[in-house]
């Protein structure tokens, strides 16, 4: 699966995505994570991508043209129209969007290509929404830009793909996999300052352990 991330700060993406799970998955050829600086698609001599809002107001607004031209380079828009491609989706990080969750990650993992557009400043020129498939939010709080949400969506989606996790069996009992948060877990030492591991987990009785975990799964 391929992830294309449109951002003014590609290094923010690479610093995270080139290590750990995502880094290994890229090295193994399971996924591709490509960044695209839409400043490179600006047509003015200063390569600016933002401007003051018409009608006045605080801050600067991201212009539609550089983002459009970047999407055009993928063959996803042409002559002012969105070009639909099978198993490809364009999403934009937006506080007004649908709340991202595990169910959505599962849907995205069925795609071949996910394009994520990261905002900055006071947001986007409204016309950019004509060329995207969906607006996505990761929560009701304010961030400097869309890079962290884009990475959140990328990792949550990628880890559902075969070959990304070292032990794919862990997906079966993973948090939110069936709408629940994982059960409480413990490791060595058995006694830490009087805080002891539940005896049932040390019993070796797998059926009783399974029942205990079922009862201790958080909703």
The pLDDT assigned to 172 comes to 57
Structural domains counted in the chain: 2
Residues 153-165: pLDDT tens digits? 999 999 999 999 9
From 171, 174, 184, 180, select the one nearest 212 (Cα to Cα). Answer: 184
Residues 63-90: pLDDT tens digits? 999 999 999 999 999 999 999 999 999 9
Nearest 5 degrees, angle CA 173-CA 27-CA 25? 15
Q: Do 36 and 123 sit in the same domain of this protein?
A: yes
Domain encompassing residue 30: 2-167
State phi, psi for 196 to the nearest 5 degrees: -105, 150
Residues 173-204: pLDDT tens digits? 555 555 567 888 999 999 999 999 999 999 99
Beta-carbon neighbour count of residue 66 at 10 Å? 24
Q: Which residues contact 90 (CB under 8 A, 6 or more apart)?
A: 71, 76, 82, 115, 117, 131, 132, 133, 134
Q: Do 112 and 185 sit in the same domain of this protein?
A: no
Domain CATH number, residue 88 = 3.40.1280.10
Q: Do 185 and 160 sit in the same domain of this protein?
A: no
């Amino acid at each position: 699966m391929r992830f294309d991330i449109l951002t003014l700060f590609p290094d923010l993406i690479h610093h995270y995505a080139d290590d750990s799970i995502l880094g290994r998955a890229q090295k193994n050829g399971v996924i591709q994570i490509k960044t695209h600086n839409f400043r490179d698609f600006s047509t003015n001599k200063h390569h600016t991508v933002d401007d003051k809002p018409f009608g006045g107001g605080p801050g600067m607004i991201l212009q539609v043209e550089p983002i459009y031209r970047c999407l055009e380079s993928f063959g996803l828009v042409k002559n002012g129209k969105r070009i639909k491609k099978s198993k490809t989706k364009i999403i934009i990080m937006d506080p007004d969007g649908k709340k991202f969750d595990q169910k959505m990650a599962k849907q995205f993992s069925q795609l071949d290509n996910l394009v994520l557009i990261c905002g900055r400043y006071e947001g986007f020129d409204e016309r950019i929404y004509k060329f995207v498939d969906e607006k996505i939010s990761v929560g009701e709080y304010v961030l400097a830009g869309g890079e962290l949400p884009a990475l959140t969506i990328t990792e949550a989606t990628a880890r559902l793909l075969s070959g990304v996790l070292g032990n794919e069996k862990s997906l079966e009992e993973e948090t939110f996999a069936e709408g629940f948060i994982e059960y409480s877990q413990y490791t060595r030492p058995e006694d830490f300052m009087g805080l002891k591991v539940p005896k049932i987990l040390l019993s070796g009785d797998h059926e009783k352990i399974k029942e205990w975990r079922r009862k201790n799964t958080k909703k």
